[in-house]
Amino acid sequence: MKRLFGFLFILVLVSNLSLRAQDTIVMQTFTFGSPQDAWFEFPSDTIQFEKILMLYTLKCNPAQNPACGEWDYLTYTFLYDYTGNTDSSEIIQPWWQLNGAEADSVGYSNSPTYSNTPQMYYNTVYDDTTSLSAYTIAAATSNETHPFGTSIPVSRSFYLWRASELVTAGMSNGDITGLRLNLSSIGSTIKNLQIKMMLTTMDTLCEDSLDFSAFTEVYFNNLLPVSGWNSIAFLNAFNWDGTSNIIIEIAYENYSTGTDNLAASNDAGYTAALSRSGSDRCVEFTGSAYIPVPLNDSLLTIDSLISITFWAYGNIDAQPQNGTCFRGNTIDGNRVFNTHVPWSNLGVYWDCGNNGSSYDRINKTATTAETEGAWHHWAFTKNVMTGDMKIYLDGNLWHSGTGLDNDLDEVSVYFIGGGGPGSSAYEGRMDEFALFKAELSQATIQDYMKKSIDASHPEFDKLITYFPFNDGNNTNVGDSAACATGPADLVNTTNPLKHPADYIFGFTPGTIRPDIIFEQGVFNTHTDSVCMVISTQNAPWQIVYFADSVNNPGQPTDTVIVWPAAYYNYNYDITGAIIDSVWVGADTTIYQLYYSYWDYFPEVIRYELARYITPYGNGLSLGDGWTWTFDVTDYRPLLADSVRLAAGNWQELLDMKFVMIKGTPPRDVISIENLWNGSFNYGDGATPIDTYLPSIKTKIPANAYTARWKSRITGHGMDSPQNCAEFCAKTHYFLIDSVQRFSKLVWRDNCDLNPLYPQGGTWVYDRSNWCPGAEVWTYDYEITPYITPGDTVELDHDVQSYVHTSGWDYYRIEDQLITYGAPNFTLDADIYNVISPTNDDMWGRMNPICTKPEIVIRNTGSTTLTSLEIAYGIEGAPMSTYIWSGSLEFMETQNVVLDTFTWAQGADKFVFSISKPNGGTDEYSANNMWISDFEYVPVMPETFVIEFRTNNIPSQNAWTLKDDQGNLVFERSSVGLSPNTFYRDTMTLSTGCYEFRLTDSGEDGLSWWANSAQGNGYIRFKSATNAAYLKVFGSDFGGEVYMQFTVGLTNDVEEMSFSDKPELFAYPNPADNYVQIDFNLPEAEKGIIEIKDLFGRTIVTESFEKSLAGSHNISLQGVQAGTYVVHLQSKNYCDSQILIVH
């Protein structure tokens, strides 16, 4: 069932946002950590709202690394409108599908087919011998099948010889060039014999202490055994140091069972052997592979407890990619359980439980080592009653979430290795897949992760499906659970033997090891090679028929398992050259047929409310949350009653609320219509973007009076030659009835002034209408003069012509047509926004202030606005007045910078009011006042010092200090500045308000990781009477540093505050020989600065005395390259930043 969340009615101002003193409803939707697709109960459409603001707040997720997502990426806020109408679409149904996909025809075999693969083997040939010494360690007390018991196809063994034994045998340090093993009885050929060696200090063998990656391969070939001593010449000599013990790994991989070879062996008298052999299998998925699991009654009754466990080995050549490890869906297609290990972003996702519109999810970013190139055990659990979801990796709790109590609905389809037909498979191998109707404990997971599941398992009676995958028929795999209903088909999936290297546990320890002779020789040699053909059974195909076009169109009527055919198998000579081919003919060839039918479904229209690009997360802190504000008043008809919302953010935690200000809007919305929405390829000469953007004819409602064309555009991708569409500025054209009425250069030119800074990536680069960590601008065009109510209008969105030579780029476009009634007022104006003073995060670079407030006014009346009286000032202080004059048409806005005002110490509210539009009476007074919360402006002593150190390019920098009248008090212009030079200027100022501004024409600050050639500089305010820093500015600031402050108030320096939160800056970053660490604190405190590695070990520690700010140059001599955390800790404050050391 869908869950509806109510709204909260309040009459107050919202934290971090300045609002009018009017009745306001705050509609809370998503909260930090909640699902981001859900239903909410909005106010009824009978309530009128003057303005609706969406507050989009992100904060870093401490459960992932980095806590703020590493990359900038698109996020959308969607509203889904369930219109109550029924829509339909014509379905063109193929008669059959091959592995879930359509094909025109296919030839197949009714029995298994095979493919040949050439395998080159190399061996050392002795041309002549200079010297050869042989050292025997043998007693021949028994004959053993290990290490060559080829009646079992796969084996891996480890044997230890102590240095004392080697020395006793007469061997000295130097290269070991070969060895001999004594076979007392001859069996089958030993294929793919691999020998590896390593030096060790271990004097007995233990499975848990072996480092498989530390071995060096010395031999790989097929061995035709002979009776007696078998000589094996190494391809690569192994150097023994004369003091270490030696471990030898001996492994082989035959493709079928054979006859054992017996090796003459001896008892070492200590644990000198570990061995494992077997015919263990796994399943391997690629492309569109999957295993459809037959349902059983027990599976259908899962509702509140579930655990799914398996071993996985990600394909190192394919991961990470967008594949699915398992999935269970309801008959409506909703997820019941689903996992990606990993997704292409290295995120591991565990989805489980659904409320009909959204599913519970926990996710965490994994490492490459955790997801590919090695076997790892994964366990996923959920307990609906406690709301707990957990992920275990190799028996250890890896990630968890709480408050996740969506039930598990009845499963209709269940797949392993992929999401079913048409989805991408998990690229890799899986083994020992089990699903329990229980929440497994960590202890149980650890006890059984290296065992086969049997009746001794404490939750054996809750075992619903269990696939050991040891079948080997390459057609299907058996379910070993007690309640199993039958085998599961392998769809494009193979069931190979595990390789010896896959045997990483389950070894049998022993004291028996083979007799051996070590060889040390000097030879003239050459390497010989031979090619051998390996024949492997092909993965089976699944053909599903949909033959009942009358009674059950689109429903499967039959399924058959077949094998690939109609291809050539090649034979090779000993050099690997193709010498012959054999045609593998098809037993049957089928050809595609189609029929059509109509599918009926509820009409659901998706509307985009806003778009946002996440910041680069490395080194970023969002504190308790950073808020972006969007005006969504135009969507009021959709934001009523039961509303389904979805947000695309998945890296950071999201809180989203709607502030709905009661009152009369400037005009009432009549209709909202999507025009073009989606991602459209750009730069393809054969298929230009206009192909995807055909003109649209639409009818204007008869009761509409005005209209607006909204266009939200961002460019993405990289191509040649212009790096479109992310980094190229192109013009978009907006035509009405074939006449161009508007055009827009789609470009964001102020990324260097992003208020969310600094970020870890290339955040300062301007882009195609977006910046990392910034809202996307919506282009609004008033088209009222070009429409006639009740008539049809033709709209066309064109894009500047462009053809790339390579690469892939696209524009993400959402265009909407909004129609309205007539203006509700003839003569009216409103305060649309306050830029300063305010606590709004989006205007953080311009705040706090002590002079020249800035607001945005808007004409909300049908009469052209030409004048306006603006009163403003600190609450409780005398008000100042500003007379604005200009010309604004209906709904046009203008930024207005006001003049000075009376200052009051300790103030935190600022009042704006407007009146007398065009000298007349404002018809709607409710929108004439705005009370803004703001932070107290910094206070400086009368005398202080500005320290400025230039970098390698001083011509890009200049700074000015002005009073509240704009008069220049002091400046350092770029003319005359020298590179890497320290400038110290003492300021002695009278009482008043001042404005400091440092600019960088290169728009990349005084230090930036992506432009290391510019070097490093800094700017700081320092006490003139002692060594205390008053304010340090981070050097990675983009285009400018800006601060207003006052002088002459009575605060003691010790009580001054220049930041409302701790600020930590580390530069250069990445660093080499040193790092400069600066900080600001909200109050003077003493504390420490630590640099720690990712294991929490402290590498460097520096303390500081009671300070408001500080600057520390820390040597990194002796610090290894890697990733570290800079951590600042005082009594009441802390902050951290990632540091990369080269």
Q: What is the pLDDT of residues 647-662, one digit of tens each?
A: 876 678 899 999 999 9
Q: How open is the CA angle 733-737-741, to the nearest 5 degrees?
A: 40
Q: Which two tokens stand for residue 215?
A: 């071995």
Res 954 pLDDT > 90:
yes
Per-chain mean pLDDT for the chain: 91
Q: Are 936 and 906 in contact (CB under 8 A)?
A: yes
- Please give the residue that has the higher pLDDT: either 913 or 355: 913
1037 and 1015 both lie in a single domain: yes
Q: How confident is the model at residue 434 (pLDDT cuts 50, 70, 90)?
A: very high
Q: Tell me the C-alpha distance between 1074 and 669, whole Å.
A: 60
753 and 770 both lie in a single domain: yes
Q: Tell me the C-alpha distance between 252 and 255, whole Å.
A: 10
Nearest in space to 60 (alpha carbons), one of 1135, 1141, 1140: 1135
- Give domain status of residue 533, yes or no: no
Give the CA-trace dihedral at 759, 764, 765, 766, to 10 degrees. Answer: 120
569 and 586 both lie in a single domain: yes
Q: Which two tokens stand for residue 904?
A: 């009051």
The H or E element that residue 849 is part of is none
> For 445-470, b where at least 16 C-beta lie within 10 A, e where not — what string?
bbebbeeebeeebebeebbbbbbbbb
553 and 518 both lie in a single domain: no
- Give domain status of residue 532, yes or no: no
Res 243 pLDDT > 60:
yes
- Please give the residue that has the higher pLDDT: either 297 or 738: 738
913 and 1013 both lie in a single domain: no
- Give domain status of residue 530, yes or no: no
624 and 758 both lie in a single domain: no
Most confidently modeled range among 407-421, 790-804, 1078-1092: 790-804
- Give domain status of residue 440, yes or no: yes
Q: What is the pLDDT of residue 808?
A: 87
Q: Tell me the C-alpha distance between 718 and 287, whole Å.
A: 26
Res 10 pLDDT > 60:
no
**Per-residue model confidence as pLDDT tens digits over 986-1013:** 999 999 999 999 999 999 999 998 999 9
> For 201-234, b where at least 16 C-beta lie within 10 A, e where not — what string?
eeeebeeeebeeeebeebbebbbebeeebbebbb
Q: Tell me the C-alpha distance between 170 and 682, whole Å.
A: 74
The H or E element that residue 653 is part of is strand 653-662
Q: What is the pLDDT of residue 1049?
A: 59
Instruction: Check which CATH number belongs to the domain holding 154 and give it.
Output: 2.60.120
Q: Tell me the C-alpha distance between 355 and 408, whole Å.
A: 9
Q: Tell me the C-alpha distance between 995 and 850, whole Å.
A: 9
Q: Tell me the C-alpha distance between 190 and 500, whole Å.
A: 13
Of all residues in the chain, what percent carry a pLDDT higher than 70? 96
Q: Where are the beta strands (DSSP E) in 29-73?
A: 37-42, 49-59
Q: Tell me the C-alpha distance between 854 and 504, whole Å.
A: 67
- Give domain status of residue 217, yes or no: yes
- Give domain status of residue 531, yes or no: no
- The number of domains in the chain is 8
885 and 944 both lie in a single domain: no
Instruction: Check which CATH number belongs to the domain holding 1098 and give it.
Output: 2.60.40.1930
For every residue of 551-597, DSSP letters joined together read TSTTS--EEEEEEE-SEEEEEE-TTS-EEEEEEE--SEEEE--EEEE
Q: Are 427 and 319 in contact (CB under 8 A)?
A: yes
**Per-residue model confidence as pLDDT tens digits over 846-886:** 999 999 999 999 999 999 999 999 999 998 888 999 999 99
What are the CA-CA distances from residue 77 to residues 40, 608, 649 (Å)? 14, 6, 9
Q: How confident is the model at residue 787 (pLDDT cuts 50, 70, 90)?
A: very high
Instruction: Check which CATH number belongs to the domain holding 1027 and give it.
Output: 2.60.40
Domain that holds residue 778: 669-822
789, 822, 855 - which closes a domain: 822
Q: Which two tokens stand for residue 192?
A: 């793919």
Q: What is the pLDDT of residue 1054?
A: 38
709 and 786 both lie in a single domain: yes
Res 494 pLDDT > 60:
yes
Neighbours of 697 (CB within 10 A): 10
Q: What is the pLDDT of residue 1?
A: 29
666, 685, 713 - which closes a domain: 666
Nearest in space to 643 (alpha carbons), one of 1053, 38, 124: 38
- Give domain status of residue 580, yes or no: yes
Q: Is residue 458 reached through a cis peptide bond, with omega within 30 degrees of 0 on the bond before it?
A: no
Q: Tell me the C-alpha distance between 433 and 427, whole Å.
A: 16
933, 952, 972 - which closes a domain: 933
Instruction: Check which CATH number belongs to the domain holding 391 and give it.
Output: 2.60.120.200
Which residues have CB under 8 Å from 1118's CB, separation 6+?
none
Q: What average pLDDT does the segment 575-584 reach?
A: 90
Res 372 pLDDT > 50:
yes
1045 and 1084 both lie in a single domain: no
Q: How confident is the model at residue 772 (pLDDT cuts 50, 70, 90)?
A: very high
Res 752 pLDDT > 60:
yes
Which residues have CB under 8 Å from 392's CB, separation 6+?
377, 378, 379, 380, 381, 398, 442, 445
Q: Kindly tell me the burial class for residue 170, based on how many C-beta atoms sit within 10 Å of its own C-beta (0-12, 13-18, 19 or more).
A: exposed
222 and 295 both lie in a single domain: no
Q: How confident is the model at residue 14 (pLDDT cuts 50, 70, 90)?
A: very low
Q: What is the pLDDT of residue 1059?
A: 60
Nearest in space to 1060 (alpha carbons), one of 894, 883, 938: 938
- Give domain status of residue 1090, yes or no: yes
**Per-residue model confidence as pLDDT tens digits over 261-284:** 999 999 999 999 999 999 999 999
294 and 395 both lie in a single domain: yes
Res 1057 pLDDT > 80:
no
φ and ψ of 1138, to 5 deg: -75, 140
Q: What is the pLDDT of residue 420?
A: 85
Instruction: Check which CATH number belongs to the domain holding 787 and give it.
Output: 2.60.120.230
Q: Is residue 701 reached through a cis peptide bond, with omega within 30 degrees of 0 on the bond before it?
A: no
Q: What is the pLDDT of residue 1051?
A: 40
**Per-residue model confidence as pLDDT tens digits over 664-682:** 999 999 999 999 999 999 9
φ and ψ of 197, to 5 deg: -140, 155
Q: Tell me the C-alpha distance between 889 and 158, whole Å.
A: 85
Q: How open is the CA angle 637-639-640, to the nearest 5 degrees?
A: 80
**Per-residue model confidence as pLDDT tens digits over 299-349:** 888 888 999 999 999 999 999 999 999 999 998 888 999 999 999 889 999
3-state secondary structure at position 371 = helix
**Per-residue model confidence as pLDDT tens digits over 598-647:** 888 788 899 999 999 989 887 788 888 999 999 999 999 999 999 999 98
869 and 756 both lie in a single domain: no
Distance separating the N- and C-terminal Cα atoms of the chain: 54
Helix, strand, coil percent values for the chain (each to nearest 5): 5, 50, 40
Residue with tokens 């998503």: 30
